[in-house]
Amino acid sequence: MRLHELVDTVTADEPPMGRGIDIDGIVSAGRRAERRRKGGFAMGGAAVLVAVVTAGAFALPSHDTTTATTTATAAAETSSPFSFTFGAYDAGRLHVQNPTDVSGAYQVATIKIDDAPSNAYGSLTVYQRGAFNEASLANATTVSVNGQTVLQASLLADSKPRTGDKAIAWQHADGAWAVVKAFSTDADNPSFADLTALIAGLEPNSSPNPAVLPFTMGYLPAGYTAVDVAEHSLPGWDSVTGSDASVYGGAIFARNAPATGLSDPYLDLPGSFTITVSSLAESAQKPPPIDAAHKCTDADAATFCTYSIITGTTLLSVTGNLPIAEKTRVAKSIKLADLTDEATWTPASKLLQP
C-alpha cells in the first residue's frame, strides 16, 4: 500500500466542511482580525517602507535585566536589550523613520516613499551580528554599490517573483546585515537604485535610545520574558505595517526566541503571547464588541483567543498561546501610562512592576 492510499483510506470518513470553515466566513473573520491588529484603525494612505538593521556598529547594549516577583507562584524577569541605536534619515525620496520595534536580534524602522503607489510600503531591519540568514533571500543576485557588496532579490510568492516586491541586504559590519524590503504594485517604484541609496545613510546614534512602553505589568507567567517591544507600532513582524498613530505600543513575550537564522522579525513565535495598546479614538471602524473577552473559553484553542479590555477609547489586547485565565490575569495586571505624555512611559527594561 502506498502512503497516499493509506491517508486517503484513513480520511475516508471526512465529514463535510462545517460552517466555520467556509471561505466567506474566513475572509470576514480575517478582515476583523486585520482591523483588530491595527486597533480598529485603517492604515493611512502614505506609502511606507520598512527596513531592518543588524549588529556590528549597531550593536545593542548588554542586557539590562529587571526582576520582579509578582506573586508567590509567578516570578519572572524581563531581559531587556531594548534600545534603538540608529535614527531617522533620508535618501532621495525615501525617508527612514525612527525605528519603532526592537528585540535582542534586530531593530525595525518603516520607510516613507515619496511619489510611490499609495499602497506601497516597506521596512528597514538592522540585525545583530549573525541574526540574519542571508540565504533566506532566495535567488538573490550580488551587486557592488560604491564598493559595498549588496544582495538584491525579488520577493517570492509560491516560488514566483512578486511584481514590485523586492529586497536588498548588505553587511554594515562583518556578519551584521541591514535589510530593506519594499512592497509595491509598481514594478520599478521604488527601484533597486532607490533602495541602495539608503546604504550610505545608515549610521549609529551617538548613544542608545531606550525603548519605552505605555504600560507596566504586575504579572508575567513564569518562564516568560519580553523578547520584542515596539513604540508606536505593533511588535515583531507586524511592525512593518503597524506603525500607525492609532498604536501606542506593544510587546511579545516568549520562553525562547531565536537569535540567529532569521529572515524577518518575529512572527508567531511558538508559545508566545503579545500585548498591544491602541487607540480607537480616530477609528473609522467599529471597535470590537465590548464582550469580546467573554467569548473566550478554555475549550477554545488558546492561541486564537484575544482578551480585550476597552477603557474609553483605549484598547488593550492580550493574544497568543496562553490559557484564557492567564491572559485575563496578565491583562488585569497592566497599568496604563498617560498615553498622551511619553514622559510617563516606562523603559522596556522596567516593564514588570508589582
Residues in contact with other proteins by CB under 8 A are: 1-4, 6-7, 9-18, 20-21, 23, 25-27, 29-31, 33-34, 37, 119, 138, 155-158, 183, 237, 240-241, 267-268, 270, 298-299, 301-304, 321
Closest distance to other proteins from the beta carbon of 51 (Å): 14
First to last CA, the chain: 61
Which CB sits closer to other proteins, 183 or 224?
A: 183
Q: Which is nearer to other proteins, 6 or 200 (CB)?
A: 6
Closer to other proteins by Cβ: residue 87 or 117? 117
CB of 286 to other proteins, least distance (A): 17
Question: How far is it, in rounded angstroms, from Cα 191 to Cα 313?
Answer: 40
Residue closer to other proteins by CB (options 112, 166) is: 166
**CA torsion angle 78 330 267 149 (round to 10):** -30
Closest of 207, 71, 53, 187 to residue 120, by C-alpha: 187
Contact 130, 55 (CB under 8 A): yes
**Number of other CB atoms surrounding residue 32 within 10 Å:** 14
- Least CB distance to other proteins at residue 270 (A): 6
Smallest gap from Cβ 97 to other proteins, in A, equals 18
Residues 30, 41: Cα–Cα separation, whole Å: 15
The smaller minimum CB distance to other proteins, of residues 153 and 352, is found at 153
Q: Residue 154 CB: number of other CB atoms within 10 A?
A: 20
Question: Residue 118 CB, nearest distance to other proteins (Å)?
Answer: 11
Show the DSSP H helices in the chain as ranges: 3-10, 23-37, 192-196, 239-242, 324-332
Toward other proteins, which CB reaches closer, 15 or 147?
15
Who's near 220: CB < 8 A, 6+ residues apart? 68, 70, 74, 76, 78, 253, 330, 352
Compute the least distance from the CB of residue 353 to other proteins, in Å: 31
E-assigned strands of 189-343?
A: 204-210, 212-213, 215-217, 225-231, 247-254, 273-279, 307-311, 314-320, 334-336
Work out how close the CB of 322 gets to other proteins at its nearest, in angstroms, rounded to a whole number: 12
Q: In terms of CB distance, is 63 or 304 closer to other proteins?
A: 304
Rounded to a whole number of angstroms, the minimum distance from the CB of residue 190 to other proteins is: 16
Q: Which is nearer to other proteins, 35 or 172 (CB)?
A: 35
- Distance between CA atoms of residues 333 and 220, nearest Å: 9
CB 53 within 8 A of CB 202: yes
Q: How far is CA 290 from CA 273, 293, 313, 315, 320, in A?
A: 21, 8, 12, 10, 19
